[in-house]
């Protein structure tokens, strides 16, 4: 089964979850002030930091060991979850005894010390949820992953709205997500336990950590790279500015949502293709298809961003509309990074991944500190562009060094050009009708220029041949 068919399955789950999130944005941005929304987003940043420390990259190691070492699956799971129980206990104890100084670091001295404890428990919940989900991703059992994702989104957002209406504020939102995560974990726990082999293997644990820890460090740095801007805005300006910027990030994240199904499918599919010997022949087409498909989504979002922002975001967040086109372009580059570093992963050089991400993070944070005081939220978005550009370049060059392929650069350039033109048009022409006309022209350029039209024709022919073969088999069966 191809990467795109697997991705389509994940798209169903992510589509429902994302639809819930976007449909509730008008509600959430009216029940929460920009300052409260900014506080929520900063706490989410710290919760994810905790999650990475708890997992130690074991969730990423599951992908490799599940696919390449099937005889060790049971011990692999037991090692991962038992190790996480120990690290979770450590963080909960630290969070309880040092909640006051941690809250001061996370948010500020004017906030309740309990905020730090809540963020840490949130991180524990997300760590176990994402690791359990990784098991089903590694097995390519898309339906179970989809059910987990939809269940958590429904419970998390549903109880968030309820508790906000009841007046529980930001703690109510965080409590809702903690409860949603643990509820889903309890539901899938019997399935996970049946897959475990309750025996310890020190050598296996060491191998898993050796493989996964660099990736955990990378994800940690990635989060700093992609999320610390909200914290820096809160520190250099205020939480209201963070809330407005976060609203813009949510709209720009439509591009991230589009790539997310592919991201979920990619980790396992990458090693399957490598194992089957088809990766080198298939990767150039994936470069072309990804740049064309995500390029179309990014162009549409950029050119219609003023109208989408007004539709989904409540009053008091207006400055966030200005960052959407810039961040959409940044997230397009992030989509290409997903496949640019394939050579690093298949050759086991994962130690380079956090190094490159750290370089990009330093560039991003440096420009944040320089640009935010002068340009505010827009400065943070421009800093993101610089960071993602650096990371894409490093990933591409190194990936090509370890695993060279024939990348169709002319096709990819078309996508970059279309996105650049979109940003210029949305900032130069307020008339929505004119922007829609430009959007349709750029859609056509991307669809035909990146060869997506040929892919769709081949897909149609493939389906037709498959149907013909099925009909022939049916006729032979009837005749016999």
Q: What is the 3-state secondary structure (H, E, C) of 396-465?
A: HHHHHHHCCCCCCHHHHHHHHHHHHHHHHHHHHCCCHHHHHHHHHHHHHHHHHHCCHHHHHHHHHHHHHH
Please tell me the distance from the alpha carbon of residue 143 to that of residue 11, in angstroms, as a whole number: 11
Q: What angle do CA 457, 463, 464 make, to 5 degrees?
A: 90
Residue of 388, 322, 395, 379 lying closest to 361 (CA atoms) = 388
Tokens at residue 115, please? 């905020």
Q: What is the 3-state secondary structure (H, E, C) of 284-309?
A: HHHHHHHHHHHHHHHHHHHHCHHHHH
Q: What angle do CA 210, 216, 220 make, to 5 degrees?
A: 150
Q: What is the mean pLDDT of residues 67-87?
A: 79
Query: For the chain, first and last CA: distance in Å?
Result: 31
Please tell me the distance from the alpha carbon of residue 138 to that of residue 269, in angstroms, as a whole number: 9
Lowest mean pLDDT among 336-340, 366-370, 452-456: 452-456
Tokens at residue 106, please? 């996370």
Indicate whether 95 pLDDT > 80.
Answer: yes
User: Quick one: pLDDT at residue 1?
Assistant: 44
Say if CB 212 and CB 57 are below 8 A apart. yes
Q: What percent of the chain has pLDDT over 70?
A: 90
| pLDDT confidence tier of residue 60, bands split at 50, 70 and 90 | confident
What's the pLDDT tens digit per position in 404-428?
A: 999 999 999 999 999 999 999 999 9
Say if CB 225 and CB 264 are below 8 A apart. no
CA distances from 58 to 86, 98, 354 (A): 13, 26, 16
For the entire predicted model, the pTM comes to 0.72
- In sequence order, the 6+-apart residues with CB closer than 8 A to the CB of 365 are 224, 225, 228, 232, 383
What's the pLDDT tens digit per position in 437-480?
A: 999 999 999 999 998 988 888 876 766 665 555 555 555 455 55
What's the pLDDT tens digit per position in 305-336?
A: 999 999 889 888 888 999 999 999 999 999 99
Q: What percent of the chain has pLDDT over 90?
A: 41
User: Quick one: pLDDT at residue 442?
Assistant: 96
Please tell me the distance from the alpha carbon of residue 12 to that of residue 7, in angstroms, as a whole number: 9
What's the pLDDT tens digit per position in 102-135?
A: 888 888 877 888 899 999 999 999 999 988 888 8
């Amino acid at each position: 089964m191809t990467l795109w068919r697997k991705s389509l399955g994940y798209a169903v789950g992510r589509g429902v979850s994302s639809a819930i999130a976007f449909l509730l944005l008008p509600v959430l941005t009216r029940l929460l002030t920009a300052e409260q929304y900014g506080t929520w987003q900063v706490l989410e940043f710290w919760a994810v930091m905790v999650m990475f420390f708890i997992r130690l990259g074991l969730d990423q190691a599951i992908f490799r060991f599940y696919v390449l070492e099937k005889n060790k699956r049971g011990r692999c799971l037991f090692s991962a979850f038992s190790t996480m129980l120990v690290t979770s206990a450590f963080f909960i104890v630290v969070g309880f005894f040092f909640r006051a100084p941690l809250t001061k670091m996370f948010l500020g001295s004017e906030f309740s010390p309990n905020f730090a404890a809540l963020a840490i428990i949130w991180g524990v919940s997300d760590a176990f949820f994402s690791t359990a989900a990784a098991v089903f991703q590694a097995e390519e059992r898309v339906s179970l992953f989809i059910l987990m994702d939809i269940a958590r989104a429904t419970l998390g957002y549903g109880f968030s709205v309820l508790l906000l209406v009841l007046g529980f504020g930001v703690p109510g939102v965080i409590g809702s997500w903690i409860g949603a995560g643990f509820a889903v974990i309890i539901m899938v726990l019997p399935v996970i336990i049946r897959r475990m082999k309750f025996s310890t293997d020190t050598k296996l644990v060491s191998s898993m950590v050796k493989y996964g820890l660099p990736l955990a460090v990378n994800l940690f740095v990635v989060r700093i790279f992609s999320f610390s801007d909200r914290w820096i805005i809160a520190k250099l300006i205020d939480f209201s500015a963070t809330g407005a910027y976060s609203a813009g990030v949510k709209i720009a994240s439509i591009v991230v949502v589009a790539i997310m199904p592919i991201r979920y499918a990619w980790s396992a599919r990458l090693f399957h293709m490598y194992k089957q010997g088809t990766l080198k022949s298939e990767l150039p087409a994936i470069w072309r298809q990804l740049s064309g498909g995500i390029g179309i989504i990014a162009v549409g979002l950029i050119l219609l961003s003023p109208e989408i922002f007004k539709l989904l975001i409540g009053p008091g967040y207006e400055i966030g509309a200005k960052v959407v086109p810039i961040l959409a372009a940044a997230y397009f580059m992030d989509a290409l990074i997903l496949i640019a570093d394939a050579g690093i992963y298949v050759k086991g050089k994962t130690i380079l991944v956090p190094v490159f991400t750290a370089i990009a993070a330093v560039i991003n944070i440096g420009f944040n500190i320089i640009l935010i005081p002068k340009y505010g939220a827009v400065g943070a978005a421009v800093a993101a562009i610089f960071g993602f550009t650096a990371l894409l370049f490093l990933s591409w060059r190194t990936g090509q060094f370890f695993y060279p392929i024939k990348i169709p650069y002319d096709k990819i350039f078309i996508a970059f050009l279309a996105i650049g033109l979109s940003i210029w048009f949305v900032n130069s022409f307020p008339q929505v009708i004119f922007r829609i006309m430009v959007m349709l022209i750029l859609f056509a350029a991307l669809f035909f220029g990146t060869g997506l039209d040929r892919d769709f024709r081949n897909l149609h022919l493939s389906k037709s041949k498959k149907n013909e073969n099925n009909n022939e088999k049916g006729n032979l069966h009837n005749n016999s």
